[in-house]
């Protein structure tokens, strides 16, 4: 762990193993931190906040620029660590490292753009000044599916704003976090500003974040269930929270769209990270008139996807995170088939050619999916593409919005009027219009409804770490 500028073991001496989900091999061990380690980290972050928050924006920016430079220099080794630990194909891992580095670069620049304002007062002897100040030490929890970019998406704006941070990475992917904190250490970021607590049991760490009054903000990416719990418990001390939670993204293909082009887009974004992405399409709605060519092209593309160890060439499908993920995906597939869905390809665990040592599921396409099936309602987080047909624009919009999630959504159409109607009508925080990658460090990322609170990325992202202070002067 990295606490107060030093690498250290857990106070209790405990460790836990990290395995490669592609083959089950142990690839490292890390400290099993707990409550006392977290309290040490919070104390360090609190001490450091007094000085870090007083640095100029230009000084904090220089540290972030240095970290960005080192991260780009170490791009290949970081990507290889990610592929070994998380399983995603090496090409996707490289893309994620670059995406993660973009947040450090963006917030190195955005640190210098935290502006205040003056407000005209109603009295001639009065002046109003508004300033932005850091909220204080931050507790952050990051997920296993994007173990580097989700880390920089929190640390970048926190440090730029003048906050210090204690971060707990996912139990499945602590090695990526360790390597990233080596970047921060080598960038010379002062001790106590960034702190890393690795833990096999997240509960004691989270309990400190939620109950210690020195932590003034929580930043979490993970399940809606845990996010709700965090929001409820954080309210006891009125802690600021930003929560990026689950998704159940609709992918709408209208009758004026090119079905082959749309199918290509669907295949790329649906099976991104083996479907283990909160913005992954979970319900693919296709106009009945073009459903046949769309489904045929999608199935042909999916059947060509090769599963295997992400270090190998031309692998498109990596392993799922664990055996529980396999069971969940298969339960949804079997439920759908049992209720009348057509299985066009996949639909089973992959065990041949040595894949039995890992947690692989065949990329799957289901047709004739209906609302009474589990996959229509539940987030899948796996490589399954369910296709549902519709007749009218109104039906498509109603079905897309029929979920308590509200993170990402996608539409394919050539009609500019329809594009605007869908953009305005879809109750999701992100809408990709003929665009399967509507994200960037400069753009706000976040959801509506039960998909979260707040935004990460862009100038909205740094605002999550700032308090607004009003000064009223009588002269």
Catalytic residues: 244, 278
Burial profile 126-158: b = 16 or more Cβ within 10 angstroms, e = fewer: eeeeeebebbbbbbbbbbbbbbbbbbbbbbbbb
| Residues whose CB falls within 8 Å of the CB of residue 142, separated by 6 or more in sequence, listed in order | 150, 151, 154, 167, 168, 169, 170, 177, 221
CA 44 to chain centre: 27
Closest of 172, 132, 145, 129 to residue 474, by C-alpha: 129
Phi–psi pair at 454, nearest 5 degrees: 85, 180
Phi–psi pair at 166, nearest 5 degrees: -120, 125
Contact 242, 455 (CB under 8 A): yes
Contact 244, 456 (CB under 8 A): yes
- CA–CA distance, 410 with 434 (Å, rounded to integer): 7
Half-sphere exposure of 110 (CA within 13 A, CB side): 26
| Residues whose CB falls within 8 Å of the CB of residue 78, separated by 6 or more in sequence, listed in order | 71, 93, 97, 148, 176, 179, 180
| Residues whose CB falls within 8 Å of the CB of residue 422, separated by 6 or more in sequence, listed in order | 252, 393, 397, 411, 413, 431, 433
Contact 285, 62 (CB under 8 A): no
């Amino acid at each position: 762990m990295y606490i107060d500028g030093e690498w250290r073991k857990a106070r209790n001496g405990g460790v836990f193993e990290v395995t490669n989900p592609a083959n089950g091999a142990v690839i490292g061990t890390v400290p099993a931190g707990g409550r006392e380690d977290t309290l040490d980290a919070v104390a360090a972050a609190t001490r450091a906040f007094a000085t870090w928050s007083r640095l100029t924006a230009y000084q904090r920016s220089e540290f972030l620029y240095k970290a960005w430079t080192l991260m780009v220099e170490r791009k290949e080794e970081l990507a290889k660590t990610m592929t070994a630990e998380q399983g995603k194909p090496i090409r996707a891992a490289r893309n994620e490292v670059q995406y993660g580095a973009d947040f450090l670069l963006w917030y190195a620049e955005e640190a210098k753009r935290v502006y205040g304002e003056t407000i005209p007062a109603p009295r001639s002897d009065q002046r109003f000044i508004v300033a932005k100040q850091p909220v204080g030490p931050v507790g952050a929890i990051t997920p296993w599916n994007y173990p580097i970019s989700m880390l920089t998406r929190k640390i970048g704006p926190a440090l730029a704003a003048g906050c210090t941070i204690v971060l707990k990475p996912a139990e499945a992917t602590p090695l990526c976090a360790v390597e990233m904190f080596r970047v921060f250490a080598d960038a010379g970021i002062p001790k106590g500003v960034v702190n890393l607590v690795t833990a096999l049991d997240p509960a004691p760490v989270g309990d400190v974040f939620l109950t210690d009054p020195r932590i003034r903000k929580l930043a979490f990416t993970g399940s809606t269930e845990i996010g709700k719990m965090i929001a409820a418990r954080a309210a006891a001390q009125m802690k600021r929270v930003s929560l990026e939670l689950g998704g159940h993204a609709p992918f709408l293909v209208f009758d004026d769209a090119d079905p082959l082009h749309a199918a290509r887009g669907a295949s790329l974004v649906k099976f991104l990270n083996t479907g283990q992405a909160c913005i992954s399409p979970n319900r693919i709605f296709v106009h009945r008139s073009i459903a046949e060519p769309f489904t045929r092209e999608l199935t042909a593309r999916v059947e060509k996807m090769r599963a295997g160890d992400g270090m190998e060439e031309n692998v498109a499908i990596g392993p799922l995170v664990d055996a529980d993920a396999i069971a969940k995906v298969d339960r949804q597939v079997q439920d759908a088939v049992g209720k009348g869905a057509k299985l066009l390809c996949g639909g089973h665990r992959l065990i041949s050619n040595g894949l039995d040592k890992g947690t692989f599921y065949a990329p799957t396409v289901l047709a004739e999916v209906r609302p009474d099936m589990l996959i229509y309602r539940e987030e899948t987080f796996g490589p399954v593409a369910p296709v549902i047909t519709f007749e009218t624009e109104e039906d498509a919009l109603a079905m897309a919005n029929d979920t308590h999630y509200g993170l990402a959504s996608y539409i394919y159409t050539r009609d500019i009027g329809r594009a605007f109607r869908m953009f305005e009508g879809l109750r999701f925080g992100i809408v990709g219009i003929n665009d399967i990658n509507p994200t960037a460090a400069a753009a706000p990322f976040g959801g509506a409804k039960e998909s979260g609170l707040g935004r990460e990325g862009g100038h909205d992202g740094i605002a999550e770490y700032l308090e607004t202070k009003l000064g009223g002067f009588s002269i």
